[in-house]
Structure 1
Amino acid sequence: MRSTVYLSGLLAAFLLFCTYRTCFGMSHPKPACRYPPSQWCRSLEIALECKVQKQCMEVNAIRPNQTVPPVSVTLYYESMCPDCRIFITQQLFPTWTMLQDIMAVTLVPYGNAQVKNSDTFDLEHLDYYKLHGEPECRGNMIEACIIHLTGHSAAFHIIYCMESSADVLNAAQPCLQLYAPSIAWSTVDSCVEGGLGYQLMHKNAVMTRALNPAHTYVPWVTINGVIKQKNSTSGSLDYACTGAAVRLNRSLC
C-alpha cells in the first residue's frame, strides 16, 4: 500500500511540475539522434548519442523496486478535442516516455459521446453522437481499433503521432506504418467498418459511463481508478495538468 502511495505521489509530482512549466521545456534537449524518445534511456550508448545521459541518470536514481506494480493511469478522451490533444502530446506521452517502468497507461477514446440504442446493443442500429461530429466518431473508432490490434504500449506511440499531427484522421495510416509496420492498414479499416469497431466503442462507452463520480469534461484522468479533483491536495492530475491553469475556466471538451 505504501509503495502504491509513493508511486502515485511521484507521478503526481512529476505531472504537477508540468502544470507550471512546459514539460522538459527548460532542460530537455533536442538531439539529432536516430532513436525515438522512448528508447533514449535504453542503454548508455543511446543516452550518450542523444545527449540525455544526465536525464536518464536522474530517472534511474528515483526508479523504485521493479517488483512494485506500476501506477495505473487511465485517460478518458476524444480524438478531436483540442484540450485532449494538448494533454496527450504535451503532458501524458512525454511523462509516460520517461516513467513507463512505473506507469501503465490505458487510453479510452469515447469522452462525451451519447449512445442511441445502448440498452439493446445492435450493431446495425447503434449510433454515436459526438461533439465534433462524424470525423471524431471515426477518429475514436480508429484509435480504439489500433489499441485493440497493437496493445496499449505500441498504440500510445501511434495515437501520439496522430494527435500531434495537423489532421488526426489522415495521419492514422502513416503513423501506423511508422510504429507498427507489421499491422496492415486494411486490418484497421476492417475493424472500423465492421462489427468489431462498434463492439470496442460499446466497451469504451460502458467504461466511461461507469465512472464514479461521473466525468464532467475531457480529458478525464484516473490514477489507480481514482479521479484526482482540482480542489485536492498536491497530486492533482485532472485537467490542471494540461500545462496552463488559465485554461480551466474557458476550454473544456
Structure 2
Amino acid sequence: MKLSGLLAVFSLLCADRTCLGLSHPKPACRYPPSQWCRSLEIALECKVQKQCMEVNATRPNQAVPPVSVALYYESMCPDCRVFLTQQLFPTWTMLQDIMAVTLVPYGNAKEIPSANSPFTCQHGQPECRGNMIEACIIHLMGHSAAFHIIYCMESSADVLSAAQPCLQLYAPSVSWSSVESCVEGSLGNQLMHKNAAMTRALNPAHTHVPWVTLNGEYTEENEDKATLSLFQLVCQLYKGVKPPACTGAAVRLNRSFC
C-alpha cells in the first residue's frame, strides 16, 4: 500500500474523535499501518475495510506488467544500505502498485567448499549472517512483506541487533525462532546458494554492489538514473497509465466515516 494511502487511512481514523467515541482513537488490531490493507481479514480486524477499498480503487491497470527492480546487495555494504533506504524503499512505498522488487542479499560474497562456513563475505562473518537472516525473512514472508523488515534493519545503526525487534514490529505473527531455525539449519545455506547462483548468472557480470537491474537488464545509464532518482525512472519505464504519484494528480477519497 502506498504511503499516501496509509496516511489517508490514518487521518480518516483519527479525524473525528466524537464520532469514534475515543479520546485516543486507534484501530483495535495487532498489525502496523503498513499491513492494514494487505488482506481482507486484516482490513476487517483493523476496521479499515472501506478505506482500503477506496485506495485499491485508485490502483493502475493490473493487466500492465509492473516495472521489475532487482537489487543485488550486501547487508553491511554502506553504499547498498544508502541505496536501499534512500532510493529503493521510498520509491517502492509510493509506487509499489506499478513495480515489483526482488532483493538478493549476497553481493561480493564467495561460496567455498567448507562444512563449517561455506560462505565468506566482504565485510566479514557478521555480514554473512546478516545476508542469511534477510534471505530467511524473504523466504518466510515473501519480498513485499519482508521489505519493511529489511528496510528497518538496514536503516538502523546495527543491522544484526535490529533484526529481531524489526521482525516483531512489522510481523508480530512471525516468530523469531523460525528465522533462527532457518539461519542455523540447512535451509539458510540453501537460500544463500540460490542467491549465489542468481548473482553469478548476471549478464553482464556484476562488478560492484549495489547492482540494480530493471526488467531483468543492467545498463550503466539506468544505474546512473536509479542512483539519482529511482522514482522518476520507474515512472518513466512503466508502460501503463501513470498513477497519480507519478503525475502529481490529486486523488479525492470519500472522507465521510460515521
Q: TM-score, normalised by structure 2?
A: 0.67
Alpha-carbon offset, residue 71 of structure 1: 1.1
Q: Distance in 2 between matches of 1:160 and 1:178?
A: 12
Query: Which residue matches 1:40?
Result: 4
Alpha-carbon offset, residue 170 of structure 1: 0.3
Amino acid at match of 1:82: P
* Structure 1 residue 116 corresponds to structure 2 residue 80: no
Question: Which structure has the greater CA radius of gyration?
Answer: 2
Alpha-carbon offset, residue 225 of structure 1: 0.4
Amino acid at match of 2:124: G
The secondary structure found in structure 2 opposite 1:105 is strand
Alpha-carbon offset, residue 159 of structure 1: 0.1
Query: Which residue matches 2:166?
Result: 175
Alpha-carbon offset, residue 47 of structure 1: 5.9
CA contact (8 A) 2:4 2:94 kept: no
- CA 82–206 in structure 1, closer or farther in 2 if over 3 Å, else same: same
Q: Distance in 1 between matches of 2:7 and 2:123?
A: 43
- CA 165–81 in structure 1, closer or farther in 2 if over 3 Å, else same: same
Q: Distance in 2 between matches of 1:171 and 1:38?
A: 24
Q: Distance in 2 between matches of 1:178 and 1:213?
A: 38
Q: Distance in 1 between matches of 2:168 and 2:103?
A: 20
CA contact (8 A) 1:89 1:160 kept: yes
Give % identity.
70
- CA 133–67 in structure 1, closer or farther in 2 if over 3 Å, else same: same
Query: Which residue matches 2:216?
Result: 225
Alpha-carbon offset, residue 42 of structure 1: 5.0
CA RMSD of aligned residues (A): 2.9
Query: Which residue matches 2:70?
Result: 74
Alpha-carbon offset, residue 228 of structure 1: 2.6
1:145-182 deviation line (CA, Å, top 9, x unaligned): 00000110110000000000000000000000011111
Q: Distance in 2 between matches of 1:236 and 1:205?
A: 25
CA contact (8 A) 1:128 1:137 kept: yes
Alpha-carbon offset, residue 127 of structure 1: 1.8
Q: Distance in 1 between matches of 2:90 and 2:204?
A: 27
Query: Which residue matches 2:132?
Result: 141
CA contact (8 A) 1:108 1:144 kept: yes
1:91-115 deviation line (CA, Å, top 9, x unaligned): 1000000000000000000000111
Query: Which residue matches 1:22?
Result: none
Q: Distance in 1 between matches of 2:209 and 2:13?
A: 38
5 Å matches for 1:147-162?
Answer: 147-162=138-153
Alpha-carbon offset, residue 217 of structure 1: 0.5
CA contact (8 A) 1:87 1:242 kept: no
Q: Distance in 2 between matches of 1:163 and 1:184?
A: 20
Query: Which residue matches 1:187?
Result: 178
The secondary structure found in structure 2 opposite 1:40 is helix
Query: Which residue matches 2:187?
Result: 196
Q: Distance in 2 between matches of 1:139 and 1:208?
A: 17
Task: Give structure 1 regions of 4+ aligned residues with deviation exceeding 3 angstroms.
Answer: 37-40, 42-51, 235-243
